């Protein structure tokens, strides 16, 4: 009986064994294919990075070699430096370096990119590079020489010894810091050298990008947890005993207070943050499911505007509209003396079933609000209109204060209009006539703006 059973089962077992072997082989082949593809991508990004850092060094040298009065040549060179540095940053992001100390080099390249971009986009015929900026470019040229050489040395080792980036990823993932790996050692040495470079005098415009908001920027006295509790209770219109206050980062530049309260039908309840200096509300959130839509964006805008007025956000005007899962997200900016101030803005979230305000983001308003004395525009509306495309059909015009691509506060004429079947906001510099910014409006926002 057992003999007959084994004769019957043997072919099935043999087929199962063969099938398992084939499956294992195919899985192994697929795994190898994936690993090979990842390795090829790493190698491509690494060699492209080496090429672009060589190009960066060359382009900086070429830019410094031109006559200082040749502003067009300088602009072209600076644009190329910005483009090459941006490509290098992209290639670094494709390499498995997240657990490797390489932040100093990344930060250095980021500042080169911002320096070149901000210098290139300005009118060099009116504001040429000054002596300090030329010194900065010379320093960047010298440092780029060393960075390119160090990376070429790593590249040589990779090619000579057929090194794999997958081994780097495995070594970093396993935290084997002492493991001998020429790629890891090369990048670590490079980053250490960059960290030891003498301090470079970056322009204020570049450094402004790296300035963080902190409580030292705010005015007003320091508040206590009890002060915050009373402010939150007044804002929400509830009894203070229902609120819980937690102090965050005492003694640091991020000192704040978090407020929470239970809420029926919401596991997250109500959450709020206040600054410790001045006790100003930074944001509040009372999320819930919104099962249906009964209100449109125009109605939500009116509800949000009334809410802001009741909570002492005066003279605000809606500038942006969005709808998501039966919830309206609206941005309001302060309006002072017929100027829309996009720097002082708040975002309000409104449930479209019953018009309840379920969120407020006021950080921009808190940190950017200050007295500004805006000079009269040098251009009239009629003069600024001439810089627009003749095909642009203007439907409204306002004055607006915005922050442009290089973080400068600029007074503009804001034109809303239609061109090529779409609705756009175009911001024209009220002094120079330069086109500072263009925003395309979505269908819902365009409809709300036209009302």
> What are the E-state strand segments in 226-363?
244-248, 256-263, 266-275, 281-285, 316-324, 327-336, 339-351, 357-361
Contact 49, 87 (CB under 8 A): no
**pLDDT tens, position by position, 72-101:** 777 888 888 888 888 888 888 887 776 666
Is the confidence at residue 311, as pLDDT, over 80? yes
Which residues have CB under 8 Å from 400's CB, separation 6+?
339, 340, 341, 342, 411, 412, 413, 414, 427
Q: Across the strands, what pairs with 281?
A: 274
In this predicted structure, the answer to whether residue 352 has a pLDDT above a threshold of 90 is: yes
Q: What tens digit of pLDDT does each residue of 1-34 get?
A: 545 555 655 565 555 566 565 555 555 555 556 6
Extended strands (E) in 326-441: 327-336, 339-351, 357-361, 393-403, 409-419, 422-429, 435-441
291: pLDDT strictly greater than 80 = yes
Residue intervals of the chain classified under CATH 3.10.450 are 381-449
Q: Mind listing the pLDDT tens digit for each residue in 357-404? A: 999 999 889 888 888 888 889 999 999 998 888 888 998 899 999 988
Residue 78 is predicted with a pLDDT of 84
User: Which positions ≥6 away from 191 have C-beta within 8 Å?
Assistant: 100, 101, 102, 103, 104, 105
Its CATH architecture, for the domain 381-449, is Roll (3.10)
* Cut 0.85: pTM above it: no
Q: Look at 46-60, 96-110, 206-220 and tell me which has the smallest mean pLDDT.
A: 206-220
């Amino acid at each position: 009986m057992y003999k007959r059973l084994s004769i019957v089962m043997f072919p099935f077992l043999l087929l199962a064994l063969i099938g398992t072997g084939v499956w294992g082989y195919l899985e192994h082949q697929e795994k190898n294919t994936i690993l090979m593809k990842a390795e090829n991508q790493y190698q491509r990004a690494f060699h492209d990075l080496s090429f672009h850092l060589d190009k960066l060094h060359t382009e900086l040298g070429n830019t410094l070699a031109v006559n200082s009065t040749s502003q067009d040549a300088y602009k072209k060179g600076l644009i190329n430096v910005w483009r090459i540095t941006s490509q290098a940053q992209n290639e670094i992001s494709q390499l498995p370096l997240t657990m490797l100390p390489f932040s100093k080099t990344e930060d250095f390249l980021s500042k080169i990119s911002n320096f070149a971009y901000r210098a290139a986009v300005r009118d060099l015929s009116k504001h040429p590079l000054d002596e300090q900026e030329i010194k900065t470019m010379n320093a960047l040229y010298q440092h780029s020489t060393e960075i390119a050489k160090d990376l070429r040395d790593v590249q040589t080792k990779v090619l000579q010894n057929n090194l794999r980036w997958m081994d780097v990823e495995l070594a970093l993932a396993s935290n084997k810091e002492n493991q001998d790996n020429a790629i890891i050692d090369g990048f670590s040495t490079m980053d250490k050298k960059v960290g030891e470079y003498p301090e470079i005098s970056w322009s204020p415009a570049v450094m402004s990008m790296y300035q963080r908001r902190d409580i030292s920027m705010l005015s007003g006295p320091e508040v206590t947890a009890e002060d915050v509790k009373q402010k939150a209770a007044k804002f929400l219109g509830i009894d203070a005993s229902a609120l819980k206050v937690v102090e965050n980062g005492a003694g640091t530049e991020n000192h704040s207070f978090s407020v929470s309260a239970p809420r029926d039908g919401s596991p997250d309840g109500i959450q709020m943050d206040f600054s410790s200096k001045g006790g100003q509300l930074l944001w509040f959130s009372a999320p819930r499911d919104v099962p249906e839509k009964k209100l449109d964006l125009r109605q939500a805008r009116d509800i949000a505007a009334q809410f802001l007025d009741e909570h002492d956000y005066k003279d605000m005007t809606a500038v942006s509209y969005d709808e998501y899962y039966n919830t309206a997200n609206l941005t309001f900016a302060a309006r002072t003396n017929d100027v829309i101030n996009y720097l002082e803005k708040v975002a309000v979230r409104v449930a479209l079933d019953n018009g309840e305000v379920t969120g407020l983001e006021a950080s921009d308003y808190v940190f950017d609000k200050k007295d500004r004395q805006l000079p009269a525009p040098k251009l009239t509306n009629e003069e600024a209109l001439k810089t627009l495309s003749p095909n642009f059909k203007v439907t409204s015009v306002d004055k607006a204060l915005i922050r442009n691509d290089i973080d400068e506060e600029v007074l503009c004429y804001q034109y809303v209009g239609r061109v090529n079947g779409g609705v756009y906001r175009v911001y024209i510099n009220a002094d120079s006539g330069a086109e500072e910014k263009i925003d395309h409006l979505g269908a819902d926002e365009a409809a709300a703006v036209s009302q």
